[in-house]
Every structure is written in C-alpha cells, then in structure tokens.
Structure 1
Amino acid sequence: MSENHHVLLLDFTDRAACRAAFDEAAHLPGLRQSAIVERLADGTLEVPAGQARGAGAPTVGAGVVGGLAGLLGGPIGVLLGWAAGTALGTAAEARRDHEGGAGLIVLSEEVDEGHSMLVLDLAETSPAPADDLAARHGTTLRRIPAAELAERVEAVRRAADQPGEHQ
C-alpha cells in the first residue's frame, strides 16, 4: 500500500480532550511530529505541547559517523570528526524544527478563539487509525497534503521577502 504524507488537523473546543487525543496520537503509525495549537478567548496563540518522533537521532547519528570517520586521524581526529558530525546533525534538526514552526504559524489562522487544534504530521498507509482517533474523541479531522502546506509556507515566506511589503 502506498504512503500518503499529510498534515491532519483535529479541532477541539475542550482543551482536556485535545490533550488526551495528543497523548493517544503519539502511537499512530507513521507519526512524524505533533503539536497542540490553542487560541485563547483574547486571541492569543499558545503551543502548549509538541513532539517530534526521532528527535536527537540526526545529531547523535551524525556525531557517531563523524567520530568513526575521524578514526583515521587518531584521538584528535575522532574528537574533531565527532564535533563536526554533531554540528551537522544539529543543523539538520534545527532546520526541521524551523520548518515545523513555520507550518504551525501558517496553520494558526485556522484556529478559532477558544479552540484547540491538534496538528499531526503523518505518513499514512491507511486513513483508518487517524479517522478512528478523531471518532473516539468526537471531533472533525481535515487532511492537508504535506506538499500543499509546504507550498503555503513558501508563499508566506516569499511575500515576507518582497521589498516594501512590510511597512
């Protein structure tokens, strides 16, 4: 079965129900990242919870590979290789976190006052697990292809980069 990369939006009027769904969503197959975005009654946005599956793995993996490559240079080579690999892995994670944050900013306009939205970045082989999660928590679920969200984020970036547009 083919894999479909989507961003799923589940709308809640009950903060506790959203948090319960967030906890349960951690076990969905194909989950990459999840977050809760809340818009308070005064319009303020909050992101009270978020997680990324595999966080830290790129940093550790690149550090180990760098350290192994540094074996050729002796103990100093291992240290320098590990440091360089770790720096590259950290940069990769920072980029992923930055992209995820930009996506949440773009999606935040869809959160109504007094509502919480569970946002799931999911590589689905079947829609059933997420559909079942939404049904169990009595909420609606909307799927956005991840590529479409990436295009929306890029359009916002281009608009922000236009000279004379932000005065």
Structure 2
Amino acid sequence: MPNFLAIVTFPDDAEAFKALSDLKSSPVSAVVTASALVQRDADGRVSIPEGGDEYAGDGYLGGSLIGILVGALGGPLGMLLGWGAGGLIGGLSDADRAADQGSVLASAASSIPPGHNALVLQTSEAETASLDHFVSDHGGTVTRLPLEQVLAELEAQQEAAEAARDAAKQALREERKQERHEKWDERISALKAKFTK
C-alpha cells in the first residue's frame, strides 16, 4: 500500500484545528498513521502551536516517525543543528531556498504559507479519494510526497550532517594541534633567548 507524507493546508487556521479534531472520529483516520498540527510563523519557523493537539493513529506524536518528519521541515540547517531528531523548530527560510534546488522536504515546507497552520500526516492509502474528500469538505488542500522519497532525503540529510560534523571536529583538532605547535615553538624560543644571554 502506498505511504505518503501529506501536508494539508487551510485558508483559515481555525479550520485546521477543526479538521484535526474531526479526523480523530472520522473513518478516514484509518489511513492516517500519524499526524500533527503545525504552524509556520511570519519568520518562517515551524512549531506545534499552543493547543495544537498531536494525534497519531493509536498512539501519539512522540512514538512515531511524524516527529522526525515535522522536525525535518526545518530544512537542511535544522537537520545540521540537530533539530531533525523530532525537534519542531527550524528555519524554513533555508527550506525555501532549498526548494529551488529540488528538495522534497523543502517543497513540502514551503507549501505551508507563513503565518498559517497545517496538518502534517503520515498516511498509508490504497486510494487517495477518501482523504481528499475529507480535506475538501474542510476547505483544505493536500500535497502528498511518497514516504520512500521523504525517507531517502532524510537519510541523505543525516549523512550530510554527520559528514559536516566530522569535518568540523577534524578542523578543530587540526587548529588545536597547530596552536600547541605554535606554543611549543614560543616556549623553545623563550628558552633559547634565556640561555643565549
């Protein structure tokens, strides 16, 4: 059965809250593995708004992949700084720039208008019509991304973040080694100066 990351946007923030509430008791919830209500502020940061219930099928946000997916909406910088481990705040301005370079997650993030709420859903759908109809009834729009593609990008971002972290550690070690060498040379020079007087 096809699995998706679905971003559901609404023209009215109140409708996003209502849709999440209605989703819990709707038969459509059967195709939703995990979900969260997120908010993108005017500065482009993503967070779970106060009163933004998390709902994840039979469980909650913390035990599902959706936390990582929402955190990833912070973009490549967010992943690099560790926000991608389920953290829910990140700079979507970086994601907007990355969207121009074909990033799947950045495209998803940029589909949430600044200053608005959206639902982020992990779905398993044999057919998409039932969720589309539910969203349409609430005045929303669905953007779907194949979950396999999203996971592949998450893995690539994680590998890039680890490589960058390793490179930064190596550069710091080299810098410290150089500083120790310079201090050693200074000490030897100082001793030479004392003994040649």
Q: Normalising to structure 2: TM-score of the pair?
A: 0.56
Match of 1:103 in 2: 69
* CA distance in 2 between partners of 1:16 and 1:35 (Å): 15
Structure 1 residue identity aligned to 2:68: A
1:52 corresponds, among 50, 53, 56, to 56
* Map of 1:164 onto structure 2: 167
Alpha-carbon displacement from aligned partner over 1:51-95 (angstroms, at most 9, x marks no partner): 222228xxxxxxxxxxxxxxxxxxxxxxxxxxxxxxxxxxxx97x
User: Which of the pair is proportionally richer in strand?
Assistant: 1
CA distance in 1, matches of 2:68, 2:8: 18
Evaluate the alpha carbon distance shift between residue 165 and residue 158 of structure 1 in structure 2; reply closer, same or farther with a 3 A threshold.
Answer: farther
8 Å Cα contact 1:30/1:123 also seen in 2: yes
Distance 1:142 1:149 in 2: 13
Aligned residues of 2:38 and 2:46 also touching (Cα < 8 A): yes
Give the stretch that moved more between structures: 34-43 or 103-112. 103-112
The aligned residue for residue 20 of structure 2 is: 22
Q: Distance in 2 between matches of 1:23 and 1:30?
A: 16
Q: Which residue of 1 aligns with 2:6?
A: 8
Higher relative contact order structure (alpha carbons within 8 Å, sequence separation ≥ 6)? 1
- The answer to whether the 8 Å contact 2:66/2:121 transfers is no
CA distance in 1, matches of 2:131, 2:119: 12
Unaligned stretches of 5+ in structure 2? Answer: 75-91, 93-108, 172-197
Question: Do the aligned partners of 1:36 and 1:117 also contact (CA within 8 Å) in 2?
Answer: yes
> Could you tell me how far apart the structure 1 residues matched to 2:45 and 2:144 are?
25
Contact 1:106/1:152, CA 8 A, preserved across alignment: no
Asked whether the 8 Å contact 1:5–1:123 carries over to 2, the reply is: yes
Counting matched residue pairs gives 127
Q: How does 1:26-41 map to 2 (within 5 A)?
A: 26=24, 27=26, 28=28, 29-41=30-42
Determine the structure 1 residue equivalent to 2:133. Answer: 132
> The residue matched to 1:164 in structure 2 has which SS?
helix
Corresponding position: 1:121 with 2:135: no
Contact 2:42/2:115 (<8 A) preserved: yes
**8 Å contact kept, 1:31–1:120:** yes
Query: Are residues 125 and 152 of structure 1, via their aligned partners in 2, closer, same or farther at CA, if it must alter by over 3 Å?
Result: same
Where 2:113 maps in the other structure, the secondary structure is: coil
**1:118-150 CA-partner distances (Å, limit 9, x unpaired):** 111111122111110221122221111111111
Identity of aligned residues (%): 24
Query: 2:19 touches 2:138 (CA, 8 Å); kept in 1?
Result: yes
* Runs of 4+ residues deviating >6 angstroms: none
Distance 2:59 2:140 in 1: 28
